[in-house]
Amino acid sequence: MLSVEEYLERVLAMARPLPAEPCPIGEGDGRVLAEDLLARFPVPPFSNSAMDGYAVRAADTSGGEVRLQVVGDIPAGVFSAPEVGLGQAARIMTGAPMPPGADAVVPVEETDQPQGVAPLPDAVVVAEVRPGRHVRRAGEDVATGDIAVRAGQRWTPATAAAAASIGYTQVPLMRKPRVAVLSTGSELVAPGANLGFGQIPDSNSLLIAGLVEQFGGEVLLQRAVPDDPEAFRGALSEAREADLIVTSGGVSVGAFEVVRQVVEGEIEFVKVSMQPGKPQACGRIVGPSGAEQALLALPGNPVSVFVSAWVFLRPLLAAFHGLDAPWPGNQLPAGEGWQTPPGRRQYLPVVVRGGFVFPAHSLGSGSHAIGSLHLAEALAVIPEAADVIRPGDLVMVRPLG
Ligand code: AMP
Ligand code: MG
Q: What is the pLDDT, as a whole number, of residue 170?
A: 98
Ligand 1 centre distance from Cα of residue 114 (Å): 72
Atom 10 (ligand 1) nearest CA: 301
Respond yes or no on whether the N-terminal peptide bond of residue 44 is cis (omega within 30° of 0).
yes
For 136-192, write each residue's pLDDT tens digit: 999 999 999 999 999 999 999 999 999 999 999 999 999 999 999 999 999 999 999
Whether 54 shows a pLDDT value over 70: the answer reads yes
**Ligand 1 mutation pick, 188, 227, 258, 370, max ligand atoms within 8 A of CB:** 188
Across 48-70, average pLDDT: 98
**Ligand whose nearest atom lies closest to the CA of 186:** 2
Q: What is the pLDDT, as a whole number, of residue 204?
A: 97
Q: Under 8 Å CB-to-CB from 121, ≥6 apart: which residues?
A: 70, 91, 113
Tell me how far apart the terminal alpha carbons of the chain are, to the nearest angstrom. 30
Residues in contact with ligand 1 by the CB-under-6-Å rule are: 183, 185, 187-188, 200, 202-205, 248-250, 252, 254, 299-302, 368
Atom 8 (ligand 1) nearest CA: 301
Residues within 5 A (CB) of ion ligand 2: 185, 249, 300
Ligand 2 centre distance from Cα of residue 46 (Å): 64
Query: What one-letter code names the amino acid at 50?
Result: A
Q: What is the pLDDT, as a whole number, of residue 361?
A: 87
Across 233-250, average pLDDT: 97
**Ligand whose nearest atom lies closest to the CA of 253:** 1
Q: What is the pLDDT, as a whole number, of residue 289?
A: 81
Ligand 1 centre distance from Cα of residue 53 (Å): 68
Q: How far apart are CA 389 and CA 356, in angstroms?
A: 13
Ligand 1 centre distance from Cα of residue 248 (Å): 7
Q: What is the pLDDT, as a whole number, of residue 365?
A: 63
Atom 3 (ligand 1) nearest CA: 249
For 194-239, write each residue's pLDDT tens digit: 999 999 999 999 999 999 999 999 999 999 999 999 999 999 999 9
Q: Please, how many CA atoms are within 13 Å of residue 354, restricted to the half-sphere of its CB?
A: 4
Print the SS3 string covering 156-224.
Answer: CHHHHHHHHHCCCCEEEEECCCEEEEEEECCCEECCCCCCCCCCEECCHHHHHHHHHHHCCCEEEEEEE
Q: How far apart are CA 164 and CA 299, in angstroms?
A: 45
**Ligand whose nearest atom lies closest to the CA of 371:** 1
pTM of the model: 0.89
Q: What is the dihedral of CA 287, 288, 291, 293, to 10 degrees?
A: -20
Residue 202 alpha carbon, nearest atom of ligand 1: 20
* Closest by CA position to 138, among listed 107, 108, 95, 167: 95
Percentage with pLDDT > 70 across the chain: 99
For 340-374, write each residue's pLDDT tens digit: 999 999 999 999 999 999 999 877 666 677 888 99
Average pLDDT, the chain: 96
Q: What is the dihedral of CA 245, 248, 254, 260, to 10 degrees?
A: 0
Q: What is the pLDDT, as a whole number, of residue 371?
A: 82
Q: What angle do CA 396, 400, 401 make, to 5 degrees?
A: 120
Ligand 1 centre distance from Cα of residue 259 (Å): 13
Q: What is the pLDDT, as a whole number, of residue 318?
A: 97
Region for 335 from its dihedrals, namely left if φ exceeds 0, alpha if ψ lies in -120 to 50, beta otherwise: alpha
Q: How far apart are CA 358 and CA 377, in angstroms?
A: 10
Domains delineated in the chain: 4-16+176-320 (3.40.980.10), 20-43+140-174 (3.90.105.10), 48-136 (2.170.190.11), 330-399 (2.40.340.10)
Neighbours of 313 (CB within 10 A): 25
Q: How far apart are CA 23 and CA 214, in angstroms?
A: 20
DSSP 40: S
Handedness of CA 17, 21, 25, 26 (dihedral sign): negative
Print the SS3 string covering 207-265.
Answer: HHHHHHHHCCCEEEEEEEECCCHHHHHHHHHHCCCCCEEEEECCCCCCCCCHHHHHHEC
Q: How far apart are CA 123 and CA 112, in angstroms?
A: 10
**Ligand whose nearest atom lies closest to the CA of 247:** 1
**Is the distance from CB of 179 to CB of 220 less than 8 angstroms?**
yes
Q: What is the dihedral of CA 88, 92, 96, 97, to 10 degrees?
A: 10
Ligand 1 centre distance from Cα of residue 186 (Å): 9
Ligand 1 centre distance from Cα of residue 317 (Å): 23
Q: What is the dihedral of CA 382, 385, 391, 394, to 10 degrees?
A: -60
Whether 322 shows a pLDDT value over 80: the answer reads yes
Q: How many angstroms from the chain centroid is the CA of residue 10?
A: 24
93 pLDDT tier (thresholds 50, 70, 90): very high
Q: What is the pLDDT, as a whole number, of residue 288?
A: 80
